[in-house]
């Protein structure tokens, strides 16, 4: 991330990912919902007007510099004041949802280019962040979508991003889904989630359970972070496509140049 020194404390990449949430919430003991929001936000859920105004004031609507110019997103960019200010001045949890990470970009591009992968199917976007991959699934004809990110503000941002793209917002779950009973999905997508070894192990087991219990297809997007490329899951992956990242994404991710979509086949 081409951020100020303060903001760099949020993003020691290229090896780490935008969402520390799944591991952090297990170890913190803190409430997942500091603003009193229900963890399951249905399509017509109320969007807090004060938070909506804050997000609109402190993010920029953009569709440039990524692999998916078809999708508009509210993101943190160099034209936003908090890009340059000290990290501790941001009044909420770290805004990892406000960056469009390269693994998510690759997944979203793949779904847009291959709509048959999701058309008429149920899709879980795990660690959804800004919601771009769930939005790509919706654009490509998915019949049922759940976006999962435990940060309630990410949930609000996803809703705003749906509206930007003239889509009816889909359900959003702001709870650690790894701790819940597994539902049946035709497809699970996750991008940039293998940034920590312990989390990678937990995800690997959870994804194997999805596959063997429900025959769920799993697609993973990753730009080659060591925690992913060095993990034992590599023996169970089939490479679908590798994308060259746009120059702005390369600059924001410490020089990562490509991002790959993998099909998980345990």
Question: Is pLDDT of 25 > 90?
Answer: no
**CB contact set of 204 (below 8 Å; sequence gap of 6+):** 231, 232, 233
Which of these, 79, 75, 149, lies nearest to 105 by C-alpha position?
75
Question: Is pLDDT of 16 > 70?
Answer: no
Question: Average pLDDT, stretch 51-59?
Answer: 91
Question: Is pLDDT of 12 > 50?
Answer: no
Domain residue ranges of the chain, discontinuous segments joined by +: 49-264
- Lowest model confidence (mean pLDDT) among 63-67, 72-76, 85-89, 158-162: 85-89
More confident residue, 46 or 132: 132
Contact 127, 190 (CB under 8 A): yes
Question: Is pLDDT of 43 > 70?
Answer: no
Q: How confident is the model at residue 121 (pLDDT cuts 50, 70, 90)?
A: very high
Contact 106, 259 (CB under 8 A): yes
For the chain, percent of residues with pLDDT exceeding 70: 82
DSSP 209: H
CA atoms lying within 13 Å on the CB side of residue 256: 27
Q: Residue 46's pLDDT is what?
A: 53
pLDDT in tens, 159-183: 999 999 999 999 999 999 999 888 9
- Lowest model confidence (mean pLDDT) among 23-32, 78-87, 106-115: 23-32
Cα distances from 92 to residues 82, 103, 162, 254, in angstroms, run 12, 25, 22, 25
The second-level CATH assignment, the architecture, of 49-264 is 3-Layer(aba) Sandwich (3.40)
* pTM, rounded to two decimals: 0.84
């Amino acid at each position: 991330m081409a951020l100020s020194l303060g903001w760099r404390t949020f993003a020691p990449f290229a090896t780490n990912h935008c969402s520390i949430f799944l591991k952090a919430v297990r170890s913190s003991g803190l409430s997942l919902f500091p603003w009193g929001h229900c963890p399951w936000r249905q399509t017509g859920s109320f969007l807090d007007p004060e938070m909506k105004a804050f997000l609109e004031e402190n993010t920029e609507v953009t569709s440039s510099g990524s692999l998916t110019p078809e999708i508009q997103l509210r993101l943190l960019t160099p034209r936003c004041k908090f890009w340059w200010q000290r990290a501790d001045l941001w009044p909420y949890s770290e805004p990892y949802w406000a960056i469009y990470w390269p693994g998510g970009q690759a997944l979203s591009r793949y779904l847009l280019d291959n709509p048959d992968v999701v058309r008429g199917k149920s899709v879980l976007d795990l660690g959804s962040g800004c919601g771009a991959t769930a939005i790509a699934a919706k654009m490509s004809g998915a019949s049922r979508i759940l976006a999962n990110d435990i940060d309630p503000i990410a949930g609000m941002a996803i809703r705003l991003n749906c509206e930007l793209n003239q889509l009816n917002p889909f359900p959003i779950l702001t709870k650690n889904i790894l701790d819940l009973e597994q539902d049946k999905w035709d497809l699970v997508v996750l991008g940039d989630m293998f940034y920590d070894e312990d989390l990678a192990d937990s995800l690997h087991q959870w994804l194997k359970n999805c596959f063997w219990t429900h025959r769920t297809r799993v697609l993973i997007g990753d730009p080659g972070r060591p925690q992913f490329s060095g993990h034992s899951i590599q023996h169970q992956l089939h490479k679908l496509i590798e994308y060259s990242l746009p120059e702005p994404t390369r600059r924001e991710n410490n020089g990562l140049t490509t991002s790959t979509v993998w099909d998980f086949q345990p």
